[in-house]
Structures are given as C-alpha cells and as structure tokens.
Amino acid sequence: MVTDREIERAVAVLRAGGLVAFPTETVYGLGADASNPPAVRKLFEAKGRPATHPVIVHLADAVQLANWAREIPASAQRLARKFWPGPLTLILRRVSNVSDLVTGGQETVAVRVPSNPVAQQLLARFGGGVAAPSANRHGRVSATTAGHVRREFGTAVDCVLDGGEAQVGIESAIVDLSGISPVLLRPGSITAAEIEAVLGVSLTAPAGDAPRAPGTLAAHYAPQTPLMLVEDKRVLEHAASLLRQGKRVAVLALSAHRPVLQGLEWIAAPRDAAGYAHELYASLRRLDELGCDAILVERPPQAPAWAAINDRLARAATGSPVPDEP
Ligand code: TXA
Ligand code: MG
C-alpha cells in the first residue's frame, strides 16, 4: 500500500529534481521531472544509459499530450481512447521545447499514460510529465517489484513507491506514429492485431535505421548467467547433458513436471501468455541469482499472444553462447 503522504513525498522529490521509482502496470519505472534537464541527466547516470537513448514521458491523461507532441494524428487519438490508461506507448512529433535529453535529440517524443493506480496518483499530483525508463540498469532485466528496484539501485534512487508486483510484467507496446505508416517498435501485451484493429491498417516492422530504441537492441533484458532458448522436447535432454559435464543448470520450463536431478534448478512458468509475462522477469532474476552455469528456457509457443514474450526472450538470449547439442 502506498499512502497519500508517500505520494506527496515522491512529488516533492520530483519537484526537487530527484529520482522516484514507481510501479506501472507493465514494469517499475525510474522517474524524473521530464521538464528538468539536470534531473533527467541524473536518471541517465543512475541507469548507466547512453545519453542518445530516448525515454518515455509518462502523463496522467491524454489531455496533456499537447504539451509534448504536435501534429497529433487522428490515429493517435484513436489508440489513446482505446488503450489509455494502459500499456501502450506512442511515438509522436515533439513540440520544440522538449529537452533533447528526453528525446535523444530526435524530432519525436515517446508518451504513455499508465493505468497503475499508484502511477496515476503520482502523475496526477505532480501534474507534469515524468520521464521514466524501466527501473533497471541499462541492458538488464526490468524490475517488476520494489525489491528488485532497491537491489538494483540502492541509494541512487531518492524514493521507491512500493505498489506490489507489476501486473503485466513486460514493457509497453511501442507504436511509432510519426511517419507515413505506423510502425510497431516494440511488441507488448496489447497485441499487434488489437492495435491494427483500431488503426484499420497493418503495422510495419521497424527498419534497420528506425529511431534508436535500446529496448530494441539485440542484446537486452539479459540476466548475467548465459541464457539459451531450447525447443520444448529437448530441455531435459539438454539439461542432463550439461549436468553430466558437472555444470549447474537452471531451467525456466513450461512443464510443471519437475525432474529430480542433482544440480538442477527448475521453475515451472504459467502456461498462459499473461501469466507467463507477469512472472517472467522475477523468474529470470531468481534463476540468475542462483549463480548456475546456464539458464535454459523452454521456448514458448510462436502464437501471436506470445510475441512480446518471445521478443524479450530472444533478446535475453542474444550474446549468450550457442548451446552445445546434447
Ligand atoms: O512499459 C514501459 O514502457 C516502461 C514503463 C516504466 O513505462 N518503460 C520502459 O522504458 O520500458 P524504457 O526506457 O526501458 O524503454 C522505452 C523504449 C526505449 O526502447 C526507447 O528507446 C524508446 O522507448 N523510445 C523512447 N523515445 C523514443 C523515440 N522518440 N523514438 C523511438 N523510440 C523511443
Ligand atoms: Mg528498459
């Protein structure tokens, strides 16, 4: 539970140019006053994020859009009406006074109205835009609890609002509406089909030179332990082979059938996409902390409902060594 006094204190911290970690329905955000460049700079330093990577401006409601974006297309209004407050980020042309720190020097700005009640209270009481990347160090797994945030940042964050577990568990879908046709920059819990149904046109995939988005860099959302995606039927075989080599193995499985093998750690993930997403980052953190030699993830179904999950898992696996064939 977050009290009124805590919200007030968080607002005071934002006004003073400090950093506030807060829950959203997707993941925790690390927030700073988006209109205060030194505060945003502090945010980048705490995250260890390159200054050229833009951040999302969080707003209490769509009415404030005009303070941040111009030439807002009808498609943006339609998406906002349908999905805000909620886990959707829109890329729009920015008004000229938005700080280059927020936009990474681009002509566009990312905006989102989150639905989490604590985020809503914070934003409404603050009244302005809160620049907030996910509350994790650059390139690492996003935080879905206040405990994750504290472990990740310690005293580098002035205030952590504890709103319990983030409900969705993976970051918002990002749709770029600044160009001729809408582009899905990052898949999320709102599926491409749901967005297309509102737009009435197909989303295109990002071009290679699309706006810089660290969440779209190949290696991202990664635990420290090498992570490998393994086809469902081969997980056990693969784990056994590594165990024979004297390795300790952590498995994120879809099967609740937990084999008893020395040196094997096993988390059975929910078999529905929403449940899986909700637990994904907490499970990856838990498996990572065990300090095993490898994390094997049983590859989820390739169905559209799993697109955002498969996207994050593929990025978490990038940079990890290719698994030896058992
Ligand atoms: O669910 C979320 O979106 C969470 C919560 C806290 O709201 N935030 C989040 O922020 O995931 P972050 O910074 O980890 O990822 C935001 C993504 C980045 O990939 C960033 O580059 C991209 O949005 N982005 C921000 N502004 C952009 C812009 N003007 N053009 C293209 N991409 C942009
Ligand atoms: Mg992030």
Residue 260 CA to ligand 2 center (angstroms) comes to: 35
Residue after which a domain boundary falls, among 199, 215, 241:
199
pLDDT at 108 (0 to 100): 98
CB-based contacts of 129, cutoff 8 Å, min separation 6: 33, 34, 35, 57, 58, 59, 64, 67, 68, 111
Residue after which a domain boundary falls, among 155, 183, 199:
199
Distance of alpha carbon 206 from its chain centroid, rounded?
18
Phi then psi dihedrals of residue 78, to 5 deg: -65, -45
Q: Is residue 206 part of a domain?
A: no
Domain extent at residue 271: 227-319
Q: What proportions of the chain, in percent to the nearest 5, are helix, strand and coil? A: 35, 15, 45
Q: Is residue 95 part of a domain?
A: yes
pLDDT at 160 (0 to 100): 98
pLDDT at 59 (0 to 100): 98
Q: Do 280 and 179 fall into the same domain?
A: no
pLDDT at 319 (0 to 100): 66
Q: Is residue 254 part of a domain?
A: yes
Q: Do 80 and 145 fall into the same domain?
A: yes
pLDDT at 171 (0 to 100): 98
pLDDT at 318 (0 to 100): 84
Q: Do 162 and 267 fall into the same domain?
A: no
Q: Do 140 and 34 fall into the same domain?
A: yes
Q: Number of folded domains in the chain?
A: 2
> What is the distance between the alpha carbons of residues 50 and 59, in angstroms, rounded to a whole number?
24
Residue 282 CA to ligand 2 center (angstroms) comes to: 15
> What is the distance between the alpha carbons of residues 34 and 131, in angstroms, rounded to a whole number?
5
* CA 172-173-177 angle, 5° bins: 125
Q: Do 104 and 167 fall into the same domain?
A: yes
Atom of ligand 1 nearest to the CA of 94: 29
Q: Is residue 326 part of a domain?
A: no
pLDDT at 322 (0 to 100): 55
Q: Do 56 and 188 fall into the same domain?
A: yes
Give the up-direction half-sphere exposure of residue 113: CA atoms within 13 A in the CB hemisphere. 18
pLDDT at 320 (0 to 100): 65
Q: Do 241 and 127 fall into the same domain?
A: no
Q: In which residue are the tokens 């879908």 written? A: 173
pLDDT at 208 (0 to 100): 64
* CA 304-133-127 angle, 5° bins: 110
pLDDT at 324 (0 to 100): 53
Q: Do 140 and 257 fall into the same domain?
A: no
Q: Is residue 54 part of a domain?
A: yes
Q: Is residue 211 part of a domain?
A: no
pLDDT at 321 (0 to 100): 60
CA distances from 156 to 21, 43, 145, 159 (A): 10, 9, 17, 9
CB 91 within 8 A of CB 112: no
CB-based contacts of 316, cutoff 8 Å, min separation 6: 141, 220, 221, 222, 223, 227, 284, 297
Q: Do 192 and 282 fall into the same domain?
A: no
> What is the distance between the alpha carbons of residues 117 and 2, in angstroms, rounded to a whole number?
10
Output the domain CATH number for residue 304.
3.40.50.11030
pLDDT at 210 (0 to 100): 46
Q: Do 240 and 306 fall into the same domain?
A: yes
Q: Do 308 and 233 fall into the same domain?
A: yes
CA-based R_g, the chain, Å: 20
Q: Do 161 and 294 fall into the same domain?
A: no
Tokens (6 digits) for 35: 């209109």
Q: Is residue 151 part of a domain?
A: yes
Residue of the CA atom closest to atom 20 of ligand 1 = 213
Q: Is residue 91 part of a domain?
A: yes
**What are the pLDDT tens digits along the chain (326 aa)?**
899 999 999 999 999 999 999 999 999 999 999 999 999 999 999 999 888 899 999 999 999 999 999 999 999 999 999 999 999 999 999 999 999 999 999 999 999 999 999 999 999 999 999 999 999 999 899 999 999 999 999 999 999 999 999 999 999 999 999 999 999 999 999 999 999 999 999 999 887 644 444 455 556 778 999 999 999 889 999 999 999 999 999 999 997 788 888 899 999 999 999 999 999 999 999 999 999 999 999 999 999 999 999 999 999 998 666 555 45
pLDDT at 60 (0 to 100): 98
- Report the pocket of ligand 1 as residue ranges, CB < 6 Å: 24, 26-27, 29, 53-56, 89, 91, 103, 106, 108-110, 112, 114, 132-134, 171-172, 174, 185, 211-216
pLDDT at 222 (0 to 100): 83
**Of residues 30, 27, 24, 34, the one with CA closest to residue 46:** 30
